[in-house]
Structure 1
Amino acid sequence: MIEFTWKVFEETGSIDTYLLFKELEKDRQDEPLNTDHEFSELDFPIS
């Protein structure tokens, strides 16, 4: 999602899109890295 938002900003120069990008970037940095857990849920979904 963050890459898409950046591409839209590059194409349009929209300030709103840039602000959304920065918000997504900040949220991404605040999240703990749980990729192993996320991948295991994809393989074995919890019902």
Structure 2
Amino acid sequence: MIEFTWKLFSQTGNIDTYLLFKELEREQQPSGDKQETELEEVDQPIF
């Protein structure tokens, strides 16, 4: 499913498809990595 989502995004450039891809990618990560990813997102400034 994740490969199909990426292929669809790369062909269309649809941002919703990219966001779905990122959500699926996060769900596949082990729980320890998920916490680290969340912390990285918090550390990034909002423009």
TM-score normalised by the chain length of structure 2? 0.62
Superposition RMSD in Å: 1.2
Which runs of 5 or more residues in structure 2 are unaligned?
Answer: 32-47
Percent identical = 71
Bigger CA radius of gyration: 1
TM-score normalised by the chain length of structure 1? 0.62
Structure with higher helix content: 2
Q: Which runs of 4+ in 1 moved over 4 A?
A: none
| Paired residues, number | 31
